[in-house]
């Protein structure tokens, strides 16, 4: 019998690509999403790719009663928890919104998992937990530092909640995946990154600028201590990231581990500056990016990229897509959105 995976936030950017990857592996998927930053039509686009329509529950997991009803309705083998607000700058301006949603939803999910004897959860964490790193690349043993933003702090606190619960319950198994910067779209160009309102992430703002939706791309800060003065990040194709979740689920359900709380970096191990992203985008698409330098943005750090050797070895996972492929798929997705 196929295992059933609950994917919270499954109509979102990373969640939808992970649903596709899970269904390709034969898992049955239930999506729970309040559509705060996504659209219901995503589930039909998932069906076009995988030929399977995922079960969809339009609920807010921060609502305790709704979360309880969800877990009473289905028999679930594992959870992948994406459901969280995710923008650094927005969290700085509205911290209460982030603490309420990101932490209460996790607490409700964990409470229902315990009641229903569900032992496996993959948590959507972030490289923001490293703060401003002392050395690069960061490994899973790099210090977790005071966060630069409420968003990052919710990821830190969530990891602490999960680790504490693993200490209290030896049957609970948790894998926290610390993402770096996901970009790009599914090769079918049927799903990709769609932000409601003004994008907070670099790539959708860049592609919207090139397509004509925005006047120019703001590059926040050109005076950082980096080779060209702009921030450096580790960009990973969203499908590489999606497959990391499948590897984590399979480790839990099929391979097992003596450790019930594990953390893995999920990136490419390479850092690119904002200007390098712009230049590479122009090269692979032949399009010009109109950008302007602005002051530094609160909550941003200068540079970070991953050491992914632990995930490569233990999860048997590695990032396969090149930067050029990531950027080209993001541009194809933007052009597809322009048709609708």
Q: What is the pLDDT of residues 273-282, one digit of tens each?
A: 999 999 999 9
pLDDT recorded at residue 256:
76
The full set of domain ranges for the chain reads: 4-183+235-268+307-320
pLDDT recorded at residue 1:
57
Cis before residue 14, ω within 30 degrees of 0? no
Per residue in 207-251, pLDDT (tens digit) is: 999 999 999 999 999 999 999 999 999 999 999 999 999 999 999
Inter-residue long-range contacts of 74-77, CB under 8 Å, 24+ positions, other chains counted: 74/4, 74/6, 74/30, 75/4, 76/4, 76/5, 76/6, 76/30, 76/116, 76/118, 77/3, 77/4, 77/5, 77/118, 77/120, 77/253
pLDDT at 40 over 90: yes
Handedness of CA 240, 242, 243, 248 (dihedral sign): positive
Our separate counts of H helices and E strands in the chain read 11, 13
List, in order, residues 6 or more apart from 159 with CB less than 8 Å away: 123, 125, 129, 144, 176, 263
pLDDT recorded at residue 146:
86
Report residue 94 as tokens. Answer: 């509205």
Active site residues: 151
Residues of the chain above pLDDT 70, percent: 100
pLDDT recorded at residue 195:
77
Per residue in 130-167, pLDDT (tens digit) is: 989 999 999 999 999 988 889 999 999 999 999 999 99
pTM of the model: 0.96
pLDDT at 110 over 90: yes
Select from 3.40.50.261, 3.30.1330.10, 3.90.190.20, 3.40.50.720 the CATH code of 4-183+235-268+307-320.
3.40.50.720
């Amino acid at each position: 019998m196929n295992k059933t995976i609950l994917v919270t936030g499954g109509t979102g950017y990373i969640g939808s690509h992970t649903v596709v990857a899970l269904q390709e592996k034969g898992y049955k998927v239930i999506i729970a999403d309040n559509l705060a930053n996504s659209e219901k039509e995503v589930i039909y686009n998932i069906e076009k790719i995988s030929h399977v329509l995922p079960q969809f529950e339009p609920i807010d997991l921060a609502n305790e009663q709704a979360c309880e009803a969800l877990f009473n309705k289905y028999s679930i083998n594992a959870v992948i928890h994406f459901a969280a607000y995710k923008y650094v700058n927005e969290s700085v301006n509205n911290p209460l919104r982030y603490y309420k949603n990101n932490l209460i939803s996790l607490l409700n999910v964990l409470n229902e998992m315990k009641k229903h004897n569900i032992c496996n959860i993959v948590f959507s964490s972030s490289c923001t937990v490293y703060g401003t790193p002392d050395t690069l690349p960061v490994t899973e043993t790099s210090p977790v530092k005071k966060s630069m933003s409420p968003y990052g702090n919710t990821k830190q606190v969530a990891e602490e909640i999960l680790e504490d619960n693993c200490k209290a319950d030896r049957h609970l198994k948790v894998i926290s995946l610390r993402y770096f910067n996901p970009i790009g779209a599914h090769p079918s160009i049927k799903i990709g990154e769609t932000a409601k309102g003004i994008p907070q992430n670099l790539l959708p703002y860049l592609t919207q600028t090139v397509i004509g939706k925005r006047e120019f791309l703001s590059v926040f800060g050109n005076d950082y201590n980096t080779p060209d003065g702009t921030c450096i990040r580790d960009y990973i194709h969203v499908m590489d990231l999606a497959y990391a979740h499948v590897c984590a689920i399979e480790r839990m359900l099929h391979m097992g581990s003596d450790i019930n709380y594990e953390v893995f970096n999920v990136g490419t191990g390479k850092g690119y500056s904002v200007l390098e992203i712009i230049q590479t985008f122009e090269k692979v698409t032949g399009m010009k990016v109109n950008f302007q330098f602005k002051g530094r943005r609160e909550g941003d750090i200068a540079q970070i990229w991953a050491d992914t050797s632990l995930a490569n070895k233990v999860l048997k996972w590695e990032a396969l897509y090149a930067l050029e492929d990531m950027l080209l798929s993001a541009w194809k997705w933007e052009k597809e959105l322009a048709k609708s």
